[in-house]
Structure formats: C-alpha cells, structure tokens
Structure 1
Amino acid sequence: MADLGFNEHHQNEAINYMRFARSKRALRLKTIDSCFQDLKDSRLIEETYTVDEVSDMLDGLQVLVRGEVEMELINTAHTNVLLLRQLFSQAEKFYLRLQTDISELENRELLEQVAEFEKTDFKSNSKVNQESNKPKLVPLNEGGVSELLQKEISRLQAENDKLKSRLRTLESQAMSALDDKSKAERALKDLQKNQGDHQIWIVKCTVLHAPCNVYTQQCDGKCSAMHTQEIANLEDTVAVLQADFEKTLSANDASQKDLQDNLVSAKHELLRIQEQLSLAEKVLERKFQQTAAYRNMKEILTKKNDQIKDLRKRLQRYESDE
C-alpha cells in the first residue's frame, strides 16, 4: 500500500485533488480525441491526397491540439495556485509560514511514488469516497481562529487558577510566619521579665542575708556561693534562650522576606495573566463580531427594532384618535 507520508485526513484531501485532476485530464483528452475525429469526419473523405493537402490537415490539427494542451497546462497551473492560496490562507490564520521546495517537484522517485499511489490506493478508495459525503473546509473567519482563541483562553484561565492557589498558599505561609514572629517576641519579653524578677530576688536575698556578714562568716560563704551559682545558671539559660530566639528570629525574617518576594512575583504574574486573558477575550469578541452569524443576528435585531418603533407609532396614532 502506497504511502505519501500524510495522516488519514490529509491523504483523503490528496485523493480528492487527484480525482479532480484526473477528471479534468480525462475531459481534455476527450477534447483532443474529438479534434482528431472531426478531422477524420470533415477532411478525410477522399481516397488520395496530395502532400500539400496532408500537410495542411496536419497543420490545422497541430494548431487545435496545441491550443487544447496549452489551455490545459495554464488551467492546471492556475488551479494549483488556487489550491496553494487555500492552504496559505489557513496557515496565516494560525500565524504560520509555510515553505515550498520547487526542486522537489521534479524528484523522479517522489513522482513514481505518487503514480504508484494513484494506481493502488486511489483506485481502491475511489468508489468508497464517491459514495461518502465530501468534507467541507473549516470556515476561515469563524471556526479556526475562534477555536484557537478558546484554547488560549482556557490555558490562561487554568494558569490564572494555579497562580491564585499559589497566592493563597503564600499568604497563609506569610501569616504563619508573622504568628511565629509574634510568639517569639512574646517569649523574649517573658524571658526578660523573668530575668528581672530573678535579679530582684537576688537583691532581696542579699539584703536578707546581710546580717550573716556581720554575725557569721560561714553563713555569708554559703549564701554567696549559692547566689553566685544561681546567677551563673540563670545567665547561661538566658544566653542560650536569647541565642535560640535570635536564630529563630533571623530565620523567620528570611522566610518572611522570601514569602513576600514570592507573593509580589505571584501578584505580578497574576496581573500579567489577567491582562493576557482580557486581551484574548477582546480579540475573540472582535472576531465574533466579524462572523456571519453575528452580522445576521444584528441585522435581524435592527429590523425587529424598526418594526417595534413602527408599531409604537401606529399605536400612538390610534390612541390619539380614540
């Protein structure tokens, strides 16, 4: 089974064009045959002819055949240009640029492949294709561009939804970071307050044990050792907590900064997507206004409005008469 490298739809289109070309070729061959038959019927009525008479008949036949062949070649070239015009017009609607290689038109291998395709697939599928309905081209001004814009709008809407979801996630993360920062600040205040309470307690203990310095050297030594150990332990604890708090605070600040940057970039991306979506909707609306259905509906509405105005005028005139 011959294959031209097309998909099924394009192969059917090629078969339809080859059928059209074959019908035109058969019609032109019938015209050439009729030229020879006319010559036989009108000129070949005697048994013998001179050289001049035969030359005259052949010259006349040559003029007719040359004219028919030339007309067929010109018509074929113009038909091919119209076919290319359809293809290029459809491509331009989707902002595509097609290219052709003229040298491939004289590729003997490809020409033989097309001839083999015409002998096998074309003949086997000709009867089936004749019975089936011929496919129609998609309207250039309505279907193709509208479908493309609808796909683009759907893609932009999906991307817009993703950005909105990401924005909500970033906002929740930012609020969580702010809550953590507030908790850390409250913890720091509590630590500072506890440290102040401990210092007050140490001062009270020092005042209360002041007589020990006067009366008993042993009591003074024990109180001083106990207070020094407690102060050292409290200072170590406060230092560790303060270091942990500063580390957590710096991490929260960095995370909050990253979240804010991501939030700003997400908002900018969301605005860009919304702008593209609005532009695509405007283009789609403008394309829809250029369709035949929109123009017909607008014309019908205009006629209906004129009829309603006329009926209102007539009704006002009858009411005034009453």
Structure 2
Amino acid sequence: MNTLNEHHVNQFVDILRFSRLRRSQLLNDINLIYEEESEKELYDTTYNKNEVEQIINNIRDVVKNFVENEVLNINHMNVLLLQQFCKQAEFWHLNLLANISELENRQLLNNIKQFEEEQFHKNKLMKQQTTNKLEPLINEGPVGILKKEIEELQKENKQIKQDKENLNNKIKELSNINNISDDKIKELKNKIDSLQHEIKKLNTLKYDKEKNKKDDLIKAVDDAIEDKKSKKQVKKDINDNLINEKINNIIEKSKLADIKGSKLNVDELLKFQNIQTQKQIKSLTEEVESLKKDLDSKLSQSSPVQNLKRMLIERNNQYKILKAEILKYNPNYQFQN
C-alpha cells in the first residue's frame, strides 16, 4: 500500500471497512443460526446417537448454505467493484491487467492483514470523503476536453495507419508498373536495334542501287555524248566542207591583188569559222545537260527507287514512335547514335 497515493489508500480503507462489516455480520448470522437450530431441535433432555447426528447434519446444511450464499455475494460484490475501476480506466482509454496468481500470495495477504490492523486498531483511519460513490463520468470541462483530444488522436492514428497501408499498396503497384515498364523498354530497345539494323541494311542497299544507277547513268551519258560527238563530227565535217566551199567561192570572187587585202579576207573567213564552231559547242553542251536531267528524272521516278524511299520513310516513322514510347517510360534514357 505504500506505493499508492493518498486517495487510493482511502479507497482501499473504505473497501476494508465494508469487508470488515460484512465479516462481522456473517459471524453474527452464523451464531444466530446455531441458536435457532438449538432452540428448535434441542427441546428434550436426552438424545440417542442418531438423533444427535441428525441435529448436527441439519445445522451443518443450514450453515453451509448460508456461508455459500454469503461467499457468492462477496465474490459478486468484488466483481462489481472491479467493474467500476474498469469503467473509469476505459474512460481514460486504459486497459487494466489482473495478476490472478498474486491473490493466493501469503506474504501479500499478510501485508493486507497488517494494514487493516494498523488502520482499525490504532484509529488511524483517514477521513472519509462526503460521498462513497466514484466520481461521475463527465463530458464537460477539462475532463471532457481531454477525452475529446484522446478520441481525435485515436482517429488520427487510425487514419495514419490507413494512409500508410494505402501508401504501401501504391508503392507495390508502382513497383509492379516499373518492372513492367523495364520489360517494355527492353522490348522496345530490341525493336529499335532491329529497326536500326534494317535501316542500315536498306541504306546500304539503296547506296548500292544508286551507285549502280549512277554508273549506268554515267555510262549512258558517256554513250550519248559519244554518239552526239560522232553525229556532231559528221555535221562538222559537212559544215567544214560547206565553209571551205564558201571560202573558195569568196577567194574566187575576190579580185584583190595585194597581200594586205588577201590577209583581211582570210581573217574574216577564220572569224566566221570560229563563230560557227562556238555555236556548235554550245548546242552540244545544251543537249548533254538536257540528257542528264532527263536521265535523273527517269531514275528518281523508277519503281525500285520509289519503293526504297517509301520503306525508309516507314522505318523512320516507326523509329520515332518507338523513341517516343521509351521516353514516356524512361525520360532519362540515352539513345545511341
């Protein structure tokens, strides 16, 4: 009892006083039972053995029933007392524990007995408070405020636990999504590598075809130039013959006797011949350029080149789409050039 405060000590003193009173009443009642049974049964002066045994058995049964009922009442009263303590503890959100093994501890029982003797035999009872009832459970004032605070804290704690559980579930979902994203990124990366390989292959094929086309074009241009040259050479020979005929006609028509006049006519003839040659070269160059443009146009419009262009455009579009999907799942992903 030394570990309890003054208020609790007073409560236990009241309980001991009540128990002491009940014990005294129980003993008085037992004495009255014996007196009543004696007056009722012992009215003769002499009794045989069987009659004495019957009287004793009757008294024993009466006392046994009385004591049993009183002990049962005491137990029930103790339960009611504990119920009051538990209600007050629950009001403050406390859970009480009872160590049943200490109820038969002889040392503790002797301590309680000694405490009772000190309190009642030495007249050191503390003053009893004006009421023997437990303090009422109120919902106003500081107690009510504290109770509301405790309830709010419990609700907040419950909400925190719920949020924690939801957060753990979201973390698991995000982890699963991340794993799925990693797998998808790997799959897209493999597709990109495959597309890059195909693009390189198509570029190589396109380069080879374009090279072959250019070689064929150059050869065709060379052949055309040679053909034009041969044709121009024939025309030139014809023109040269015509020019020579004109020169001869001019020479024949010229009646000039001096050398200076002859030299002037020759210069005019050479100038005329040079102009005709330049016109022929210009015409030949224009025809060669026209032929090159015509061959380039036919080459670009050919079906193999169109198919290659279309395939390259489709591959590039697929490559852009895959890059966008990878950046969607992993914005920090670095692409290899």
Normalised to the residue count of structure 2, the TM-score between the two structures is: 0.41
* Structure with the bigger percentage of helix: 1
Normalised to the residue count of structure 1, the TM-score between the two structures is: 0.43
